Amino acid sequence: MDHRRCPRDNFPLTPTRFLNLLMDACPQCDGTWLDRGELAQILGTRYDVDPRHGLQEDDPRGQVACPGCGTRMVARWFSPHKRVKVDRCPACFGVWLDSHELQEILKESYQEKHEPQVAVTGKGKRYHRPDCRLLPESGVETILASQALERGLTACRTCQP
């Protein structure tokens, strides 16, 4: 019998069905434990946390023990947008998501697949189509259109993204 416990409050984790996946959830804090590959299965991606984007960061809540193997987990940004920080086990590669994090990851994943991407420069005040002739040859970043609007950028009058 599996005796996995929540890394946040030590409550026993309960098997919970999400889509066609059986994952472990904490009935106390609503956190979720996903074994290696399960988050990728939910998202339809190759990796749970893409190694190119999983930048390690210090977690202000402190390190917690992996429910799967007991190893101290490492906080990582789920994506380069740095919206959601997840705890990932460096030994068994499982992922702990606090109560709201799965919802935020699903939202971000949907936006990535369905929202247009625009190009911006570090000091520019406008966002562009990635092929805009006004963009410099270097120093260009591609972001979601909603992120450009959050930054207060306006659309290029030439390429009209």
Domain assignment present for residue 6? The answer is no
DSSP, res 13: P
Query: How many structural domains comprise the chain?
Result: 2
Is the same domain home to 93 and 131? no
Cα dihedral 59, 140, 132, 80, rounded to 10, equals -20
Is the same domain home to 39 and 93? yes
Is the same domain home to 69 and 104? yes
| Coil, helix or strand at residue 12 | strand
Is the same domain home to 24 and 85? yes
Domain assignment present for residue 3? The answer is no
Is the same domain home to 109 and 131? no
> How does pLDDT run across 10-36, given as a tens digit for each residue?
999 999 998 889 999 999 999 999 999
Domain assignment present for residue 108? The answer is yes
pTM for this prediction: 0.70
Domain assignment present for residue 8? The answer is no
Q: Are 86 and 94 in contact (CB under 8 A)?
A: no
Residue 47 one-letter amino acid: Y
Range(s) of the domain holding residue 40: 14-113
Q: Is pLDDT at 1 greater than 50 in this prediction?
A: no
* Side-chain half-sphere CA neighbours of 132 within 13 A: 24
Q: Compute the average pLDDT of residues 50-75.
A: 78
pLDDT at res. 93? 93
Domain assignment present for residue 148? The answer is yes
Domain assignment present for residue 4? The answer is no
Is the same domain home to 119 and 68? no
Is the same domain home to 130 and 149? yes
